[in-house]
Every structure is written in structure tokens, then in C-alpha cells.
Structure 1
């Protein structure tokens, strides 16, 4: 039996390690060599679904992220770039219909909170996302 939310089933989403559900929908075929020698796609794009009342774990990635809102409202808390998230100084980005875009800078701790309704966003990462560049708090 499939325990995924109906929208996750509809979009073919799988569990994400930080929480929520995701599926990569695009990866640029253009590659870039980063200053440290790592090779990445220039950009990647995912769907990310957070069911009502859930949140993602604090995490960070080595690339900039652009969040694009589709349905519902998410609040992305930014916890600085120190060795651990600084919850007391968190900056909040709201991604919703009237503010459908937000940016999370590379290396900044983040977590996502959702309201009392499911929220669906897309996340564009550049240079492209790789789990080798992903860190949970």
C-alpha cells in the first residue's frame, strides 16, 4: 500500500531525506567545473511537497537555490552560515501566490515550515544539486 500523499502519488514524488516529498524534473545538460574541481550540471529543478503541518529538517547545500511557489504557503527559515543553524536570528522567506519566489544563498542553513494546508514548490539549484553537497544539521 502506498502511504504517499495523493499529490505525491500524482506527481511521482519520493521521500526526501530532509522531510517532505520530491522529484527532480530537470537537469541542465550543460556541465560546469567548480573551483574545487567538482563537476556539476549548471542547474537542476525539483518539485518539493510539504504536507500540512510538517517541516523539513535544518540543512544546507553548497549552491544557491531559487524557490518557486505553486500551491499553498511555505516559510523558509534561514539560520546563517555558521557551523550550526542559528534559530534565534532566523530570517523568514514566505513563498506563496503573491510572493512566488525566494532565494536561499549557498551554504546557508535552512528549514521549511508549512501552514495548515499542503504546499507545493519548485526549487531551482545552481550549480546543480548533488547529494554530495547536502548537509543535515
Structure 2
């Protein structure tokens, strides 16, 4: 495991199962019915990657809106909607493109960067680990 970055400690972030560091910062009090049960209408996390860190291929059953805070660039790779990810389009989150959407059911991962980067991720309907899957292998 990578040592906890100073900014992760300052923000109270913990290791995320996919890689990187996170903490839920908001959960909507409103709820939504989904095929997998009731969920908050939306949730929000901080997510931090240190230089060279990545997140593994994963898929979520809800839309995810990524919001860039910097300072580095976060490169987000999409992997299609199949049973397993395939290398696809790479989206950059940076000052000129500070918001990016990953639609529900689309595989995604982050690629290593050279600078620390902090983003937020708004998930709707709200995130549950019951709706999250890491790629095999």
C-alpha cells in the first residue's frame, strides 16, 4: 500500500478499494428506488490520487459526475459497457475541462499522473458498494 499522502490525512481520506484515497462528504436525505433497492438520491466524495497512483477498472450502476479541483490533471479512461472493460477514450479533468460524466454501467479507471490531483465524484442515484464491481484480474 502507498503511504498516506499529507493532503489525504488533512482531508480525512481513507484508502479506496479501487485505489486512491476517498471520503464521503455528503449524502442526500432524499431517496430513490433502484432495481437493487432504495438508495440516496445522490452522494458526493472527495477522491485523491498521488503522483503515479491509479484506480483499477470498475463499474458502477449509477451516473458519476467527476469534478476537478487540481492541481494536477486526472486522466479518466472509459472501458465500454460489456462484461469486461476494453481500453477506450481517455478524458482529462483539468482547468479547461473541470467536469466529466461517466454514464451508469460504463467501465472506468484512472491512469497515473505526475502531480497530485483532487476531484469530487457526485453519484446519482447515490453510491453503494452493492452497485460497484471491480474487473477480474
Query: Measured at CA, do residues 75 and 122 of structure 1 come closer, stay the same or move farther in structure 2, by a change above 3 Å?
Result: same
Deviations 1:31-81 (A, max 9, x none): 1112x2510000000000011011110000000000000011101100001
Per the normalisation by structure 2, the TM-score is: 0.94
Number of residue pairs the alignment of both structures matches: 132
2:103 & 2:114 partners in 1: Cα distance? 27
Does residue 130 in structure 1 map to residue 128 in structure 2? yes
Cα drift, residue 114 of structure 1: 3.7
SS in 1 for 2:56: coil
Alignment gaps of 5+ in structure 1: none
Deviations 1:9-35 (A, max 9, x none): 00000000000000000000001112x
Counterpart for residue 69 of structure 1: 68
Per the normalisation by structure 1, the TM-score is: 0.94
Poorly superposed stretches of 4+, deviation over 6 Å = none
Counterpart for residue 47 of structure 2: 48
Query: Measured at CA, do residues 86 and 29 of structure 1 come closer, stay the same or move farther in structure 2, by a change above 3 Å?
Result: same
When the two chains are superposed, the root-mean-square deviation of aligned CA atoms in Å is: 0.9
Deviations 1:78-125 (A, max 9, x none): 0001010012xx111110112100000001100012420011000000
